[in-house]
């Protein structure tokens, strides 16, 4: 059987599966910006409303919740880095192979909801705080 030779991936339509984002896009762009969608802290209404069935509208989110940075989440959850936050979030949604998942990181993020009503960014949508 002949070995298939695939064309190089188009940098405008792909992202790295592993490795450095800067290395992947080197030569294609002058700079690369990575947006980390903020976590959400319930300020004046219960965090239980922040689920698909009762998801608040953008104005309610901006009025009753506040954004929490990944750095603050790492510090409050006792995680060693922003990469640990990323691994914890991707573990929570089943987005990592078992050998790369980290249940401890995911559980530390989950505990923030119970202790401080800090919720992870909603998966699959652009944060209302970034519009």
Domain ranges of the chain: 36-123
Q: pTM value?
A: 0.76
- Strands (DSSP E) contained in the chain are 39-42, 65-68, 118-119
Tens digits of residue pLDDT in 73-129: 999 999 999 999 999 999 999 999 999 999 999 999 999 988 998 999 988 888 888
Helix (H, G, I), strand (E, B) or coil at 26: strand
Total length of the chain: 131
Tens digits of residue pLDDT in 41-74: 988 887 777 777 787 888 888 888 899 999 999 9
């Amino acid at each position: 059987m002949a070995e298939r030779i695939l064309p190089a991936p188009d940098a405008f339509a792909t992202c790295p599966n592993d490795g450095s984002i800067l290395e992947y896009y080197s030569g294609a762009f002058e700079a690369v910006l990575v947006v980390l969608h903020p976590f959400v802290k319930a300020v004046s209404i219960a965090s239980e409303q922040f689920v698909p069935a009762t998801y608040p509208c953008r104005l309610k989110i901006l009025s009753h919740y506040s954004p929490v940075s990944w750095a603050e989440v790492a510090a409050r959850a006792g995680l060693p880095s922003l990469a640990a936050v990323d691994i914890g979030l991707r573990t929570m949604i089943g987005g990592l192979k078992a050998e790369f998942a980290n249940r401890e990181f995911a559980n530390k993020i989950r505990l923030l909801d119970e202790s401080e009503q800090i919720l992870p960014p909603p998966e699959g949508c652009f944060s209302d705080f970034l519009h």
